[in-house]
Amino acid sequence: GLVGDIPPSWWSAAQAHAAHLASPGPAPVPAPSTSEVVRTTIMPRMGWKLSGSETLKVPLAKLSVRMATSMQLDDVATRQADLHEDNERAAQGLPLRAVLRREDLPAAAAATLGAIRDTLARLWQKVRWERRHFETLWRLAIDAVPLPGNSHMPLARREPCGCGQHGHGGAAAEAHAAAAPRQHHFWDCAVAKAVVAQINAHNPGPAPISQAQLWLVQAPPGFQQCVWDVVVMAALATTEHGRVRLRGMTRAAAALEIQTAAAAAPEAAVAGAVEAEFDLDEIPPTQLTPPQPGVNPVELACARAVAGLLVAADAVRAARRAP
């Protein structure tokens, strides 16, 4: 322990000084100089632990530029690998890393982890498509879609989904209480379900697609992998676009309600606006227009998401026919 690391000369000086204060006697032994303590005691204990080890470390005095660069890259790679594993576990319904270690998982389940990195590399190298179509999949793989409550925004205030099934309280909220934001927005939300239903309507396989097949780009029976690669990126991108549009419409509708209430009860309207804390700068102005009276914003967002998927499919078919 730390007490055991105190130099004997310090102990001797402290004990002699205490004895000298208690009764007259010889002068206390002088304490070692600060520079000597730093050189002999503090410096040897300073360093950096190596990734994946609690005992191995690089002493400060022996750290080189090459070693420091390698350690920084290792930390980034380790963090990315952890986020990839979290995504793979979420897609397959496996327990979180904090709940069950990888080595404690059944062998079959553990063997499925770690493949997403190679999948993303393959897509980046093989798929010739505008890079904007890759963004949502890339963000989803490391839980970096800007959703309050995700891995990168754990303390941010969670925002209720415009579909009414996430973050609104009541029985629906209790059913989704433990669900991470990405689980809802990219699988459980009405917008995501509409996109998945459109895929299943043209699914040549015997069973509906699974969350793992969508999130991890695993081609279902009846799909060629090259086709499924594009389907997944288009589906996730249009789901994210639909989520943002739905958020914009519901936020705008809520803001309109506050403005309408201001005429009848100004003080209550101000209190409601403060509590809502709308950040309208996050949404493009073109997406802040409320739907027409009588139009359900959830149904409209679902229809637009499905339309976006169909447009992407048409664009891919046209590109394949081009000489």
Position 176 scores a pLDDT of 47
pLDDT at 46 over 50: yes
User: Of 14-18, 19-23, 76-80, 283-287, which has the strongest mean pLDDT?
Assistant: 76-80
Q: For residue 321, give Cα distances in angstroms to 148, 156, 225, 315, 316.
A: 42, 46, 19, 10, 9
Q: For residue 36, give Cα distances in angstroms to 15, 16, 29, 43, 46.
A: 20, 20, 16, 10, 15
Residue 228 DSSP code: H
Q: What is the pTM of this model?
A: 0.66
pLDDT digits (tens, 9 = 90+) for 75-130: 778 888 899 999 999 999 999 888 998 889 999 999 999 999 999 999 999 998 88
Position 78 scores a pLDDT of 82
pLDDT band at 221 (very low <50, low <70, confident <90, very high): very high
Task: Look at the alpha carbons of 121, 126, 131, 135 in this order and tell me if their dihedral is positive or negative.
Answer: negative
pLDDT digits (tens, 9 = 90+) for 168-192: 554 444 444 456 889 999 999 999 9
* Core vs surface per residue 13-27: b (16+ CB within 10 A) or e: beebeeeeeeeeeee
Position 77 scores a pLDDT of 80
CB 188 within 8 A of CB 181: no
